[in-house]
Chain A
Amino acid sequence: ETGVTQSPTHLIKTRGQQVTLRCSSQSGHNTVSWYQQALGQGPQFIFQYYREEENGRGNFPPRFSGLQFPNYSSELNVNALELDDSALYLCASSQGLAGAPDTQYFGPGTRLTVL
């Protein structure tokens, strides 16, 4: 157990809908990263938040957006869902220490199915 929690665990949506996924980071961590993992693939970096500001973004369209709150929990929002958005969405928290290698601690993920 890493102390990182995600909700919900499973979600089914239809094409065109919007979805919000939530993540609570491990105590003492101020950085949250989101990853998308399609079936049979490795996770792909979506974006990262450090102290409530976006701190890096992967190759994902603007309909993928996020927030980080003062308690360092985070949300991932996806608008206009497409079938290819079906995946496991993973949240990872870390200490975000400047200049130090940053071990990321992953939550159990949210399995999103888009029909």
Chain B
Amino acid sequence: SQQGEEDPQALSIQEGENATMNCSYKTSINNLQWYRQNSGRGLVHLILIRSNEREKHSGRLRVTLDTSKKSSSLLITASRAADTASYFCATESGAGSYQLTFGKGTKLSVIP
């Protein structure tokens, strides 16, 4: 079953604009991670935010986490054509097994 739900399902922007994707989840979590997937291939880990953190930055990426609303957002600033991909949030909430529960993803298209 899917834990997270990303919003929007698809997003199309011009190169240089910012892209914001949102993720909501249902149960309490230990951490939340964002992954990128190009054309149905393997997932690339982008950033991990722990449940006691509210904001994290990595290069052009900014992630926020609001555990009271069970939601997270991923902001990509100054987007590039190479950012075109599907983006997934994944939550880790169990003790010990570190299994990730993914949402359905947001498909981002950056138009040159």
A residues whose Cβ falls under 8 Å from a Cβ of B? 2, 4, 31, 33, 35, 39-45, 48, 55-56, 58-59, 88, 90, 92, 94, 96, 101-109, 111
Contact = CB atoms under 8 A, between A and B. Distances in A.
B87 to A, nearest CB: 10
Interface residues of B, number: 29
22 contacts: A4-B42, A35-B100, A35-B102, A40-B104, A41-B104, A42-B90, A42-B105, A43-B43, A44-B102, A48-B97, A48-B99, A55-B97, A56-B94, A90-B42, A90-B43, A92-B43, A101-B48, A102-B98, A104-B98, A105-B45, A106-B43, A108-B41
B28 interface: no
A39 B40 CA distance: 8
Nearest to A95: B98
Contacts of A39: 40
